[in-house]
Amino acid sequence: MMLARSLAGLLAIMAALLAGLLPSLLRTGRIVPGDWLLPGLLAIAILLLTGGAGGRPVSRRDAGAIWALVVLPFMLFMLVAASRPPWSGLAGLAGGLGLATMALAVLRRRPPAIRWGGLALLLALAAAAQWLLRTPDRPRDHPDSPVVGVMSALPLQGAALAPAGHPLDAPGLDTPLWAVLDRAVRLRPLDALDEVRLASVDRLLLAQPRQLAPEELVALDAWVRAGGAAVILADPLLHWPDARPLGDARRAPLTSLLDPLLAHWGLRLEPGRYEPGTDPVERRLLDDGTLLQLAGASRFTATAAPGARCVLSDGGLMARCAIGRGHARLIADADWIHDALWTRDPDHPGLSSAWTSDAVPMLRAWLTGMAWDGDSGSAWLLSKNRLISAIRAALALAILLSLGWAWLGRAGMARAGMGRRPQGQIGNIPSPFPDST
């Protein structure tokens, strides 16, 4: 009986643990604690409603033991596998399953119709909660949202996305990145930089642009010094796929052409390196827990330019420069905004459950002027080896807890049996004294 009870608990928890991997982790690498809400509820229901605790009324200790049996291996798995602990998500999962356990303990004492009807309602609520986690990320359009000027040689919007030789066959096309950002800010394409154009925007996104004329560089520098905010992607070795021939003037430059501006601000972009035959894409976890998928990324180094106030981070991948009354954020890679490196579903770019990196929320926060310090409700899988280690740790804990749960049930049954001994019997030996009554 004890062995069967241990196996039942172990199978329930491992089935729930593996089921929680399917919605997000195995698809995108993101660890979302809410993905374990429905599997965890099913496991608790199976153990509590069908097995119970030795057939006795469910006490608080019994319910707490079953909750721990299911929830603690989940939490250990996520703490081992995640890039950083998703504390708010873990708290929500533990609290939600705790409330469900208490409700199921009450339902267990009710007639079958009420018991199974209540279980169906709880399962529906859990499924609805998980569905809400997967609904499209839709920032509200607002007339007061900032105007962001975008200057880029990358094919991000409009005729640049049309097939070679047919620049006007696909007007109005947008990349997934453009479509999702345009819901949070008002994007405005810029074909040149001058005082008039820059005065009409609140912020600027400069992503691997064409070579800027000297007067454009002067206008940009003056705009930032006057209080402007710019996000600049400078890639020394672009890997962005483009079907156009190398000599096509519409292709983005293979290397950044912003060296004069960077030198003026006290930065130098180091050359990119690439070994033929290797995959240039890397999943890089930044210092603040943000995950980006880069391709041949390089780094900045600081120079001794007069008045330079640039702070480097993440090994030089990023730089934040205070320039006059304004500032600029710079990243030594531009490929990370390509849709193949941040979403599994480019046809629905607002579906955050399909995002494979933090590219969109980080860039959106920068362009709206908000602080970005990662998402405390979810985390990223560090590596396949870490996934294997996390499963092993969760399995070991589940085995220990299953044995403890089985022992608890056996001890409870023994106590219940002792309480039902016939009068005149001591232990298993009949008493020689007749019942006085």
What pLDDT does 428 receive? 44
What pLDDT does 279 receive? 83
Predicted confidence band at 406 (pLDDT cuts at 50, 70, 90)?
confident
Tokens 């995959």 sit on residue: 279
State the Cα–Cα distance between residues 357 and 283, nearest whole angstrom: 8
What pLDDT does 105 receive? 86
Least confident of 68-77, 172-181, 309-318: 172-181
| Residue 387 in this model has a pLDDT that exceeds 50 | yes
Return the higher-pLDDT residue of 111 and 300. 300
CB within 8 Å of 396: residues ≥ 6 apart? none
What pLDDT does 426 receive? 40
Least confident of 149-158, 319-328, 356-365: 149-158
Residue type, position 133, single letter: L
Exposure string for 156-186, b = 16+ CB within 10 A, e = fewer: bbbebbbeeeeeeeeeebbbbbbbbbbbbbb
Mean pLDDT of the chain: 84
Cβ atoms 332, 235 nearer than 8 A? yes
Cβ atoms 161, 346 nearer than 8 A? no
What pLDDT does 291 receive? 93
| Residue 361 in this model has a pLDDT that exceeds 80 | yes
State the Cα–Cα distance between residues 71 and 405, nearest whole angstrom: 14
Least confident of 189-193, 350-354, 401-405, 431-435: 431-435
| Residue 192 in this model has a pLDDT that exceeds 50 | yes
Cβ atoms 175, 207 nearer than 8 A? no
What pLDDT does 362 receive? 94
**Could you report the per-residue pLDDT of 217-248, keeping only the tens digit for each?**
999 999 999 999 999 999 999 999 887 777 77
Whether pTM > 0.85 for this model: the answer is no
Tokens 């154009």 sit on residue: 197
Spacing of C-alpha 131 from chain mean position = 16
What pLDDT does 119 receive? 86
Nearest Cα residue to 82 out of 372, 289, 286? 289
If you average pLDDT over residues 108-125, what whole number do you get?
87
**Could you report the per-residue pLDDT of 45-86, keeping only the tens digit for each?**
888 876 544 445 566 777 888 899 999 999 999 999 998 888
| Residue 288 in this model has a pLDDT that exceeds 60 | yes
Burial of 61 per CB tally in 10 Å (0-12, 13-18, 19+): exposed
State the Cα–Cα distance between residues 228 and 412, nearest whole angstrom: 70
**Could you report the per-residue pLDDT of 19-45, keeping only the tens digit for each?**
999 989 999 999 999 999 999 999 998
What pLDDT does 108 receive? 83
pLDDT above 70 coverage of the chain, percent = 82
What pLDDT does 51 receive? 55
C-alpha dist (Å) from residue 365 to 32, 97, 340, 387? 21, 32, 21, 30
| Residue 141 in this model has a pLDDT that exceeds 90 | no
What pLDDT does 199 receive? 95
Burial of 381 per CB tally in 10 Å (0-12, 13-18, 19+): buried
Ranges of CATH 3.40.50 domains, the chain: 147-368
Burial of 269 per CB tally in 10 Å (0-12, 13-18, 19+): buried
| Residue 111 in this model has a pLDDT that exceeds 90 | no
Return the higher-pLDDT residue of 423 and 380. 380
What pLDDT does 402 receive? 84
Cβ atoms 15, 74 nearer than 8 A? no
| Residue 268 in this model has a pLDDT that exceeds 90 | yes
Return the higher-pLDDT residue of 132 and 269. 269
Please give the full DSSP string across 64-118, using - where no structure is assigned.
HHHHHHHHHHHHHHHHHHBSS--HHHHHHHHHHHHHHHHHHHHHTTS-HHHHHHH
Cβ atoms 204, 198 nearer than 8 A? yes
What pLDDT does 360 receive? 94
Task: Go through the chain and tell me how many residues it has.
Answer: 437
State the Cα–Cα distance between residues 150 and 189, nearest whole angstrom: 5
| CATH number corresponding to 147-368 | 3.40.50
What pLDDT does 137 receive? 57
